[in-house]
Each structure stands twice: as structure tokens, then as C-alpha cells.
Amino acid sequence: MNQIVAGHEAALRSRTADWPTADQERLQAAIRFAVVKHGAQIRRSGEPYVTHPLAVAAVVTELGADADTVIAAVLHDTVEDTDASLAEIAGAFGPSVATLVDGATKVAAVRGDDPDALEAARLRKLFVALASDPRVVVIKIADRLHNLRTIDALAPHKQARIGRETLALHGPLAHRMGLAAIKTELEDRAFAVAHPDEYEATRKVLADIPELEQALDSARTELVAHLAANGIDGVVQARIKHAWSVHRKARAGYDVESLHDLLGLRIIVATLAECYAALGSVHALWEPVPGRIKDYVAKPKFNSYRSIHTTVHVRGRLFEVQIRTQEMHREAELGSAAHHAYKTHDDPREPQWLRRLLDWQDAAEDGEYVEAVTEELGAEEIWVLTPTGDVLTLPVGSGVIDYAYAIHSEVGHRCSGAKVNGKLVPLSSRLRSGDRVEILTGRTTGPSLDWLAYTATARARDRVRQWHGRVRRARTRAAGESALAALLSKHRTTPEAAAPLLLATAGLSSWEQLADQVGSGHVELLRLERALRGRTAAAPAPADTPTPHGTVRAPDAGQVVAPGLSGIEVSLAGCCRPAPPAALIGVSSRARGVVAHRASCANALASIEDSPGKAVRLLWVAPGVRVSTVHLVCDNTPGAIARVTLALLDLRADIETSSSSIAEDGRGLQHYEIVHTGSRSELRKALRAIPGVRSVSVD
């Protein structure tokens, strides 16, 4: 066998020397299989092709992968690039290895012409593979690392493309999966080929900082001596922040020299108790920066990273010191979650960022999907607490709406308010790590399009848009169907009899399409009516032909009230001709006051969607019934809302809406719209009698 191949094989076998004999034999057989199958294939560098899978397998062993994953890495290109079949691999190496090779092959096999579609398709495959077995992605990341180590043979523009893809995808994925051991090398190699000029500039910035290496060395020496003097037995590592990370900070406007983690020291000890002893010892040696002690042992990061971090001043420079046990170190470097398949989607090991991307991929267009992935992978996460104390992670910048949708789509759709750390907050509030969040749900008209302005997750935005699309389509069709039904009954005909004529008039092929087009106003009822009249020429033209946008003053308009607004003129819309008990929606216009439409009316929804501020709440009320708006100021004590609610129900008032907030002085504010038959003074009196209520206004 070729000398170079023999060298790679020996390197791989030396890393697996402690494996059980059976696994070593399977590995040996896999190496022989790959050598035979790849045969005379050569890489662009001129080396035998099989050196590549052997080197990838060696990287995979460094990450602590199991025998199946290492064997699959040896075989990862055989199905794609040789005449080997999956059945052959399953027969020789077992179904588990075959599944891993299949996953790696499928991710690689996406080919096509449209670069956008290609990128999205490749991402989808990768995430499906990741969800079914993260070990496939460990192989793909190791594959990419080896390709970058040997990228010189490629043309510069291909190098740049591979580098950019790695920075956007493989680097963040390695980070998400906790594969710190190879992430730094992966990103710096990718940076060097993706943006050669900026890479050199960043290296120069680091090289130009005087005595950086010396500062690192002497701090490390000092720390080693100090720990020994304090009886703490640990390994001390030192590093300068890697070039890609420095570049990102510099691009974000930070001054490189004053970064708190440009210089890093790491202490690895045996026990958690020694971690805290080491922390105390570091703080005795060097002055800590207030507020920069991070205990990721008590609260692990999203990728299950555990360590204690602190930042200290060392002779005019900032150092980040990480303290961890050997076990935490192994997990941080090798990614404990990267080596297990998630059996079900309830598996708590399945990271939430992955779940979000999988949810999103079904709904999104190709371009949006790539954007969503980039966004999710690029962002750091925050962790917040549910009312029951469970931890939920969200991207940085997430707000209460993102949280509500992360809990459940229905919770998002029905969200009417939120409490953070026990206090009511606006729905536009952003969340911070450690916040305890509670979503209030209630009778609402569904998600508001305004929410799109303060959501950070693709999932929440997608769900809001979906809801609006679905509801609008349903309402449009219902409006069209009722308009058509009215038209047909006026002309004493049936859908069966009239359909051929009406569909021909509108140039459509189905009744549903016709209802949609009528509901959205694309087909005017007047045109259909003319067609029907032309057919039944004897039928008299009705006097009150509905026109899509006209309003008709109805005799019973006085029964429509706009809660909280007095003295406004309300008229009934001509397009949908609302009648009790149909739900109403008001559209305010400067010319005509408020026009009452059916809540399902497509015209009303269209005008409100353009400017949501035009919407006015309207109610039908029977004679003798009044609608009142109640404002209360009360002590902010538990049960305050319940007491007021009970009092209102005692008065047999129907609560239409309610909301509450906290005033600057800490008092509670409550607001209600109620429908009731009693007098307002009676209402005032009853509410003032409630303990804790300080003032009441009713109008």
C-alpha cells in the first residue's frame, strides 16, 4: 500500500488502540473496504483519495465519537463516489453505520443550478440529518475541517465560497453542538480563505499589540505558582482570542485591545469544590471586574456548556479566566450532546434552536429559510423561566411574543398580556436571561400584525403571518359566500342553476374561487347581478343593490354602540349589511364617522389591514342595556383583580374586555368595558365598596 495511505491508517489506528477488539476489527475492515473502493481515485492535491476519509475519521476520533461514527467517517464518501452500495455497507458493518453513511451522503448529494435553492436544500438536509442523528453532522463538520486543511489545491474563488459557507454554517453549528475542540481551527481556516485581506489585517492588529504573548505567558506562570501555593492542583491553559472572533468584535465596533476576553486563561481542576476554591484564589491574586463573574455551572449555556468565568485586571490588561472540572472540559471540547440521536422530539437533549429550525423549514420559502437559519445560528441565546420554573432558551432580542409562541402556537395567538418577574409589562417588552415570564391569555381577536415589529424569532413571525393569512382567507370566502347567497335569493335561483352563468361572467372555474373573488372585491357583485338580470329580464331591479363600499344609514343604527367613545356617528355598511347578532367591526373614516361592518367583511378587513388605527370596537346592544367603561385605581395586592371581577359579576354585568397595568407610584390600574342594565351610579357605589379600591370612574 501507498506510504501516505499507510501513514494515515497508522495515525487512525493509534487513536483507537484502546477500543474493544471487535470494534478494532470492524474499523480495519472498513479501512480495507474504503481503500479498495476508492482504488486509484486521487485528490486534487495528487494524494490517494482514501487519505481524506481516513483523516476525517481521525478528526472524528478526537471528538470522542463512538466506533460506529468513526467507521462511518471512514466510509463517508464510498456511496457517493464509488460503486459501493448502502446494502453492502449494512451487510458488512451493520445498519447503524449504514444509516450514518446514508445521512452523510444525502447531505452531500444536493446538486442543482439555482444557488439559492441549492443552499436552502442543503441546509434542510443537514438539519433533518441533525435531528435524526447529530453524529452525521459531526462527520460533516470533520469532513469540512479536513477539506479546509487541504484546500490549497482548489481555485481561489472555490476556496472563498467554501470558506464563506463554513463561517455561516459549520462554525456556528460546531458552536451550537459544543464542539469547541475544532471550532476555532475551523473558523480561522475558513476566515483565511473567505476573506484573505481581512484575515491578514486582523492578524496584524493582534501582532501590533505590544507584548501580548509575553503578557499571556507571564500571567500563566504567575497563576500556576499562585494556585500551587494555595494547594490547588490544576492544569492552566492560556490562549489569545482567535482571529475570526476578534474580527467579528472589531467589525461590531469594539476596540480590540480592550476586549475583556482577548486574553484567556483556563484552569482545569478535579472537583467542583476546587473550581470555587480556584475562583477565590484568582480573585485574591488579581482584581476582578465587577459584574463579570458568570456561573455557567449553576446555569449551563444553551449548548450545555458548563464553566465558571470571571474577568480580572492583570497589570493593565483584562484577562478572562475560565474554571472547570475535567469532565466539564471534556464536554465543552467534545460536545456531549453531539453524539446521541434524539429518539423523539420530546427528547430533552434535543436543542430548542434545532426544533425551531425544523418547525420553520416546512413553512418557509427558500430565501426566508436561509435567512432564518443564519439568524438562528448567528444569535446567542438567552434563557428564561416558565411559571413552573422550567428553563426555555430563546435568541437574544426575543420578547414576550417570542416566548408565547415558543410555548405553543395557541398561547401566542391568544396572548393578551404578559408578566415578567411578577409585573405586568407591555407586549413589546424584550426579555433578559433569568426573567420569569408568564403569558396571560384571553378572548382576543388574534395576533396583531404590529407584533411583527417586536419579535426576534422566525417562528413567532411565521405563526403571526400564517394566522393572518388563514383568517383573512377564511373571512374573505365567508363574506363572498354570504354575498352570493343574498344575490341568488334575490333572484330566486340556486347555486346549481346560476353557477354556469356566474362563473362564465367572472371567467372562473369553481364556486369557491368565485366566493373568494367576490369576498376580496376582485369580482364585483354588480357585474354578476347584471348577468343574472340579463338572463331573467322580467325580474325587477332591486332598489337597494349593494355596492361594495357604500354605507346606508339604517333605522336601527342607534343600537350599535362604540364602547368608550361617546357622541360619534355610527352608520351601517352597505356591503355586508350587518344585523344582530353578527359580530361587528367599526371602520372610522373622516368623512362618515364610524361605519359598522360585519366582523367577517372583506372590505372592512382590507381597510383595517392597511391602517389598523382605523378599527373601532362596536357592539350590538338591546334597548335599555348600556355599555360602560370603568377605570379603577387600587392597591396592588394579590386578588385585587379577582375582587373587582366578582363584584361586576354580582351586578350581573358582562365583562367585554379587561386589562390592567401598574402605575408609576406602584398602584394597580384596572380597566373594563362592561355591558349592564343597572345605573352607572349604582355601579360606582358597588365598586368603591371593594377593599383596596382607591378611586373609580365610570363613563
* Residues binding Mn ion (CB under 5 A): 77, 143
Query: How many CB atoms within 10 Å of residue 647?
Result: 16
- In order of 13, 168, 169, 323, 428, the CA distances from 378 in angstroms are 37, 8, 9, 26, 23
Distance CA 398, CA 406 (A): 10
Phi first, then psi: give them for residue 656, nearest 5 degrees: -85, -45
Q: Which residues contact 683 (CB under 8 A, 6 or more apart)?
A: 628, 630, 651, 653, 676, 698
Q: Do residues 399 and 382 touch, judged by C-beta distance below 8 A?
A: no
Identify the sign of the CA torsion 231, 233, 239, 241: negative
CA angle 380, 381, 384 (to 5 degrees): 160
Rg for the chain (alpha carbons), in Å? 34
Distance CA 463, CA 476 (A): 20
Nearer to Mn ion, 78 or 99 (CB): 78
Comparing every residue's Cβ against Mn ion, the nearest one is 143
Distance CA 374, CA 230 (A): 46
Grid coordinates standing for 41?
481515485
Q: Which helix (H) or strand (E) holds 695?
A: strand 693-698
Nearer to Mn ion, 146 or 577 (CB): 146
Nearest approach, Cβ of 149 to Mn ion (angstroms)?
12
Residues classed as catalytic: 80-81
Nearest approach, Cβ of 60 to Mn ion (angstroms)?
12
Nearest approach, Cβ of 510 to Mn ion (angstroms)?
51
Phi first, then psi: give them for residue 406, nearest 5 degrees: -70, -30
Query: Could you give the 3-state DSSP secondary structure of residue 318?
Result: strand
Q: Which helix (H) or strand (E) holds 97?
A: helix 95-108
Q: Which residues contact 583 (CB under 8 A, 6 or more apart)?
A: 598, 599, 600
